[in-house]
Amino acid sequence: MTTLPPSAVDQAGFVVELEQFSGPLDLLLHLIREDELDITDLPIAKIADQFLGVIDDLGLSQAADYLEMAARLLRIKAQTLLPRRPGDDEWEDPRAELVRRLLEYQQVRELVDWLADAAARRAERFARGFMPEARPVPPAPLVVELNELLAAAERVIALIPEPVLHRVVPRPLDVEGATERIQALLGEREECSWLDVVGERASVVDVLSAFIALLELARRGALKLRQDAPFASIVIRREPPRAAA
């Protein structure tokens, strides 16, 4: 199994990083360097296995970025295993995107070294009145008279809008009641209309209850629904009880 890079251990005293690597690309690059692999011709199966091994070892499995890279590696590995015909020029190396990113990232790492050197050289020189960190000027302490404070509080209170209270009355659907009513109606006659069920001045809740009850009864085969034209009144017709039932 792989060992940690010495540089990460050396710097650990100075910069506390949550992980030894600044990201999955950093880890990948480390593995490639350690085995002296050719980035442009990555042995993807090998590198994928090592990557998964290190994630296990370092307990980095919490980090989504590492998991995403692991998934990407496994996908590329699967793609390279797919058979392909020699004359297939449509085929693009599934590693190409990863290789491009690794090369780009390698360039960033080189710049990081350069920047770190420059910062270290600069740290050997002090400017006048050098402060470790540019701190924001703290706000001046607040000086207020009591009556000013009270006046301010009153202004704020005046801005508070009157609360508007709404009373919410629960009114659940009464599907059972509607079912009983429909069954009673159909007990008296063979056919009735929608208006017979809900009445002239039905509330929304009544309409919904009746409608659900009708659909349920129709599903059970207790009645048949018929509507002769769009928006026409629904005709409800009793179904003879099935002999088999």
Q: Which residues of the chain form contacts with other proteins (CB under 8 A)?
A: 11, 14-15, 17, 22-26, 40, 65, 69, 93, 96, 99-101, 103-112, 114-116, 118-130, 132-134
Complex with other proteins: residue 124 or 188, whichever CB lies closer: 124
- CB of residue 19 vs other proteins: minimum separation in angstroms? 10
Rounded Cα distance between 191 and 239, Å, is 10
Placement of tokens 């050719």 in the chain: 38
- CB of residue 126 vs other proteins: minimum separation in angstroms? 4
Cα–Cα nearest to 211, from 188, 227, 194 = 194
- CB of residue 96 vs other proteins: minimum separation in angstroms? 6
Complex with other proteins: residue 100 or 226, whichever CB lies closer: 100
Complex with other proteins: residue 6 or 170, whichever CB lies closer: 6
Complex with other proteins: residue 107 or 193, whichever CB lies closer: 107
Q: Which pair of structure tokens corresponds to residue 50?
A: 């090592």
In 3-state terms, what secondary structure has residue 5?
coil
Complex with other proteins: residue 4 or 101, whichever CB lies closer: 101
Going by their DSSP bridges, the two strands 235-238 and 191-193 should be labelled as antiparallel
Who's near 70: CB < 8 A, 6+ residues apart? 24, 48, 51, 52, 55
Q: Which pair of structure tokens corresponds to residue 80?
A: 């390279």
Rounded Cα distance between 137 and 86, Å, is 69
Complex with other proteins: residue 69 or 192, whichever CB lies closer: 69
- CB of residue 62 vs other proteins: minimum separation in angstroms? 13
Cα–Cα nearest to 2, from 35, 25, 46 = 35
Residue type, 205: V
- CB of residue 108 vs other proteins: minimum separation in angstroms? 5
Do the beta carbons of residue 52 and residue 70 sit within 8 Å?
Answer: yes
Complex with other proteins: residue 81 or 195, whichever CB lies closer: 81
Do the beta carbons of residue 75 and residue 93 sit within 8 Å?
Answer: no
Q: What is 7-22 written as a DSSP string?
A: HHHHHTTTS--SSSSS
